[in-house]
Amino acid sequence: MTTTTDATDPTADPFGEGSPLAHAARWTVLGACFHVVSDSAALLALAAQACASLPAHRFGAVAPMFHVELRLGAPRDTVYALPPRVRTQAGAGVLCGVMDAANHVVVSPGQRRALVSVSADMLERHPYHVRYELMEFALYLLAARGQDLVPLHGACFGFGGRGVLVLGPTGAGKSTLALHALLEGLDFVAEDGVFVEPKTMRATGLANYLHVRDDALHWAEGAPHRWLASSPVILRRSGVAKREADLRIGPGRLATAPLDLAAVVMLSDQPASGPARRSLPRDEAVARLHADQPYAAGQPHWQRFVDGAVERGVYRLDRQAHPRDALRALRPLLDADAAVA
């Protein structure tokens, strides 16, 4: 008896494993090489917005390889004013982030692989959330878990191979300070997510976009102001509207390699009433770092990062009258020959 199988029969390939992934690209970011394949040119183009034309940061001579699949599903009738928040879960060695049944990401750090599934309607109507909350979710998890990096919500910039890690609560001014560091010609690593190799205390990140509110635009003049003002507006989950300015076409320099952290700076939203910057004693520094970074504090290499941060110095920086004053207070930390108070 001879039987034939209809290639269009969904029961022949219920998981879609046979669908071709004809589009591919490779980018070296976050210390690793990401091989990204997709069945959609549009999805791969969106991934390029996150990864293309960035400095190839590496922690070693050979960058580890990770594989990411981007798969596009059929459009649906569901219309979201704002996509559902990503719900996370883990088990059996995989990590998941789920918006809904058609839009989710599955990451297997052990296999160094991730799958991002996106419906056509979500790609068309909410590309920012697809890129930021699904694609970058996969990149960040693979890079951090696959290289034993500590993931931090903060900013990083510096010069001469040395950097400062800037942490602090929402509204403390991290983005505005990062903008001024860029305008002052410092080497830029990241404004939102920073990843630190704890054994060397070197920091990397995706230097793709800067997110600032319109009230920060008055700090810039001329071409930088035009760059910010012409950037699209995105709505963050907090409800705050921000300009998303592409750092690859703007002013300033992107750090060509991970920066060696010289110090960690905790921004305060309190106006300065004394010295702009003060060193924190160990116990206070440890407590503040833990409170500021609850997710990172639960990761395996947190204690080694904390020890490295305290060794280099953890500082509190109160709010200054002008961001330029804050940068002036930080610059001695980046000077290898300066006596740091």
Res. 270 pLDDT band, cuts 50 70 90? confident
| pLDDT (0 to 100) of residue 8 | 61
DSSP lists the bridge partners of residue 267 as: 317
Q: How far apart are CA 13 and CA 176, in angstroms?
A: 51
CB 121 within 8 A of CB 83: no
| 198-222 pLDDT tens trace | 999 999 999 999 999 998 898 899 9
Token code pair at residue 314: 């953890």
| Helix, strand, or coil (residue 336) | coil
| pLDDT (0 to 100) of residue 340 | 41
- The pLDDT of residue 341 is above 50: no
CB 69 within 8 A of CB 35: no
Report in angstroms the alpha-carbon separations of 311 from 76, 166, 200: 53, 16, 12
| pLDDT (0 to 100) of residue 4 | 52
| pLDDT (0 to 100) of residue 339 | 41
Residue 292 makes CB contacts below 8 A (sequence gap 6+) with: 167, 168, 169, 266
User: In the block, which residue shows the tokens 């960035």?
Assistant: 54
- Rounded mean pLDDT of 64-77? 96
Rounded to two decimals, what is the model's pTM?
0.93
Q: How far apart are CA 245 and CA 154, in angstroms?
A: 17
- Rounded mean pLDDT of 164-175? 88
- The pLDDT of residue 112 is above 70: yes
Q: How far apart are CA 71 and CA 128, in angstroms?
A: 17
Class of domain 151-334: alpha beta
Instruction: Report the 3 state secondary structure along 82-151.
Output: CCCCCEEEEECCEEEEEEECCEEEEEECCCCEEEEEEEHHHHHHCHHHHHHHHHHHHHHHHHHHHHCCEE
User: In the block, which residue shows the tokens 């609560």?
Assistant: 169
Amino acid type, 323: P
| 156-166 pLDDT tens trace | 999 999 999 99
Q: Which one is predicted more confidently, 112 or 324?
A: 112
User: Nearest 5°: phi and psi at 312?
Assistant: -80, -25
- The pLDDT of residue 300 is above 60: yes
H or E element: which one contains 312?
helix 302-312
| pLDDT (0 to 100) of residue 271 | 77
Q: Which one is predicted more confidently, 321 or 33?
A: 33
| Helix, strand, or coil (residue 307) | helix
| pLDDT (0 to 100) of residue 323 | 87
- The pLDDT of residue 48 is above 70: yes
Res. 115 pLDDT band, cuts 50 70 90? very high
| Longest CA–CA separation in the chain, Å | 90
- The pLDDT of residue 172 is above 80: no
Token code pair at residue 325: 């004053």
As a whole-number percent, the residues of the chain with pLDDT over 90 amount to 80
Amino acid type, 76: R
Residues of the chain with CATH 3.40.50: 151-334
DSSP lists the bridge partners of residue 88 as: 97
Q: How far apart are CA 310 and CA 242, in angstroms?
A: 33
| Helix, strand, or coil (residue 256) | coil
